[in-house]
Chain A
């Protein structure tokens, strides 16, 4: 009888610690991603994100200038290596071979053989002496430098500034919003019928829906797309006088196309329905029978019961499914690739990021992290606005 409402569990502290630990565990990768999204590619490969706020030692390579000033029987090249390398920081060591970039400590005069010497200061000033007049490219210099932490908005600039990104953002919304609303509409009706209306084979239908939950959507890609193309072909034949008959594919080609936004909405609806019906039905079946019977006694029709009683009470379940479906369609790449036409006009953000931004630069972690944050901004917004419906008391006030 420990868990009577109103009494505090004696293990409350353990629960708190566990919760804090779980939250940290979940949040750490996200923080890492956020920090990485503000660092450039070199910085990311040089040190972990947890070291980002501290100065790091990085190795650079640059060339000394090629203009020598005669000094006695030698030529002297002077300049600042940070200017040549486009870097900032404090130089700690230098070298002339890639294998040993920090061969000589700062301030020393390095003997490079053949009468050549090189000396460098912490601020990057160098003096290179050579008995022969320098020609062509200048002397190669490697150096290690303490680099102050450097955060940049360049990744976001790349992601947001990519040609067609705004269009891709709109396209993603065009896919996501109907693909969230349509299944909820359909599933709410179906769930009510399966939960509260008496008709034959109801149990079989429910079992069928549960069975569909385990069918992988990859299995349905080709048949479904084929169905869409044939439907489009039929519509072309029916409505489109300009449609051309293509003998190789036995299809009418015209204004209606198998791969379209409507197609992707229908696909997402189909793939989302089993879970939606299952979730909503289980929720609705748990609503108190008294309310529904009261409504029946008062003379409400089934449709009135559904709209006036069930829907408002089911709002938390609808909202939670809406969040699921929204996140899944927002992040989807596969369904969009298969069911949307190719080309910029119908390119969604996931595809833009995967094929256009990352296609040839698979390992650009900074861009990847930036793109991740750009693409989760909207789902986060949706989650935080809808989230209060999730925590709102489920049946508060409806039953006395």
Chain B
């Protein structure tokens, strides 16, 4: 345990320092990357002396990985490109855009927020031809175009967002060894999952680790739970109606999903300390319980990006693995999958910003992060062998096997709800408020902004 955790700081530090030296983490021409398109792009694009600023939600280790991608862009174009991440990105970008000092590009973790800003005229449409490109080259392309298309200030639909990094949310992480030692089986259905949780409690363990803390975005992990539960208790049409608020937030269907989440999070047998502890634990720390001796918990439901926060040296597939967060056998809703993604938008138009969007269409822009791990893409032209591990390839398979794929609902709701009321409401619910009260409060906020 000790040596697993011990090196974490040092390694992350070294990876940060490596870029400061200015040499490329991935040398053009090396490896199985797609260099032809890159060389062509480099030959046709000269932006020497110009600069490009990008802000986004990736900090620390994730920033270091994205810096490698930015470095390739700078190398190809001669532009001075800099990415800076912020823990409170959602707030910072709104202030910057309102005040007219926005960076060239913003990486939104929330389509809802991007749509808000597009409606206020703070985003510029992506270069011509981008929507055709995405529709043709991304897996399920048209759905990604739809998710990036919003009404502009005068109410016309335009493509404002290009999806770059996709996350798969319906995953449960576990330590295979801990399961083996106790003869636990991977549950195939939600009924089995609940039975397994009860079994772990009976054996004197704590089945779940849940952490909702995330700085200014505290509460979002709970919204993912509720969305997953919604997809597992209601047909996808109801989910879509809920996200569009055609179905009221305080309707019984939604309250049922919130309470289905509460059965896990508010159960003191399932989560050490119950809801209070879940709400005050940082989502980045909560998976660490899996690796403690004796295990503080056995399962952790979190999206595909979470291995970035596991202790250093943890090998996905060996030390830790995942299974699909199963559906209720009794509901006959197939196997729904919840996903999400970050999108690039132009917040301050310039030639360099357009060029970067063109750069993101190249497979190399995706492959450069794929090899570093913690990255899934919808881009169809990438070399899948470059995924850092089998786990990521396995996740790609889950997406293929889904009978229903739905985008993270809170990301699609208006920013005020999906990046505000829903988050805080779920913290209130998790710490003891009633589901009806919380749902009614969120609906009230939604009515107020209509």
Contacts and interface: CB of A to CB of B under 8 A. Distances in A.
Contacts of A251: 100
B138 interface: no
Interface string B204-215: 110000000101
Interface in B281-305: 282, 284-285, 288, 293-295
B205 A362 contact: no
B284 A363 contact: yes
A286 to B, nearest CB: 41
A100 B213 contact: no
B204 A342 contact: no
Contact of A356 (B53, B60, B82): B60
Contact of B8 (A224, A338, A361): A361
A258 interface: yes
A154 B9 contact: yes
A261 interface: no
Interface string B1-41: 11101101110110011011000000000000000000000
Contacts of B53: 341-343
A7 to B, nearest CB: 53
Interface string A98-142: 111100000000000000000000000000000000000000101
B95 A100 contact: no
Given A221-B95, A222-B95, A360-B62, A259 B101 contact: yes
Contacts, number: 172
A293 interface: no
Contact of B2 (A60, A99, A163, A258): A60
A163 B19 CA distance: 9
Interface stretch (A22-30, A225-233, A302-310, A312-320): A225-233
Among A98, A155, A164, A337: residue with most chain B CB under 10 A? A98
Contacts of A161: 13, 17
A226 B5 contact: no
A367 B9 contact: yes
Interface residues of A, number: 62
Nearest to A346: B84
Among A58, A163, A366: residue with most chain B CB under 10 A? A163
A99 B295 contact: yes
Contacts of B92: 337-338
A366 to B, nearest CB: 8
Contacts of B285: 362-363
Nearest to A58: B2
B277 interface: no
Contacts of A40: 5-6
A42 interface: yes
A357 interface: yes
Contacts of B205: 99
Interface string B56-70: 000111110000000
Nearest to A158: B9
Interface in A214-256: 221-226, 228-230, 233, 246, 248-249, 251
Interface stretch (B177-185, B356-364, B401-409, B429-437): B177-185
Contact of A229 (B2, B101, B178): B101
A257 B101 CA distance: 8
A61 B293 contact: yes
Nearest to B103: A342
A87 B3 CA distance: 8
Contacts of A221: 95, 99
Contacts of A154: 9-10
Contact of B100 (A100, A101, A158, A226): A226
A320 B407 CA distance: 55
B55 to A, nearest CB: 5
Interface in A362-376: 362-364, 366-367
Contacts of A248: 121, 124, 348-349
A142 B82 CA distance: 46
B300 to A, nearest CB: 14
Given A99-B205, A163-B20, A229-B101, A360 B2 contact: no
Nearest to B18: A163
Interface in B134-161: none
A358 B87 CA distance: 9
A202 interface: no
A359 B100 contact: no
A162 interface: yes
B98 A222 contact: yes
Contacts of A174: none
B203 interface: yes
Contacts of B13: 158, 161-163
A337 B1 contact: no
Interface string A286-328: 0000000000000000000000000000000000000000000
B99 A229 contact: yes
Given A42-B2, A163-B17, A225 B101 contact: yes
A331 interface: no
Cβ-closest 4 pairs across A and B: A359-B59, A360-B60, A225-B99, A363-B285
17 contacts: A59-B294, A86-B2, A99-B204, A155-B9, A222-B99, A229-B99, A229-B101, A248-B121, A258-B101, A259-B96, A337-B92, A355-B86, A356-B85, A358-B60, A359-B62, A360-B284, A362-B285
Given A99-B205, A360-B59, 7 more contacts: A61-B293, A98-B177, A224-B99, A228-B99, A248-B348, A258-B101, A362-B213
Interface of A: 40-42, 58-61, 85-87, 96-101, 140, 142, 154-155, 158, 161-164, 221-226, 228-230, 233, 246, 248-249, 251, 257-259, 337-338, 341-344, 347, 354-364, 366-367
Interface of B: 1-3, 5-6, 8-10, 12-13, 16-17, 19-20, 53, 55, 59-63, 82, 84-88, 92, 95-96, 98-101, 103, 121, 124, 175, 177-178, 181-182, 203-205, 213, 215, 282, 284-285, 288, 293-295, 308-309, 348-349
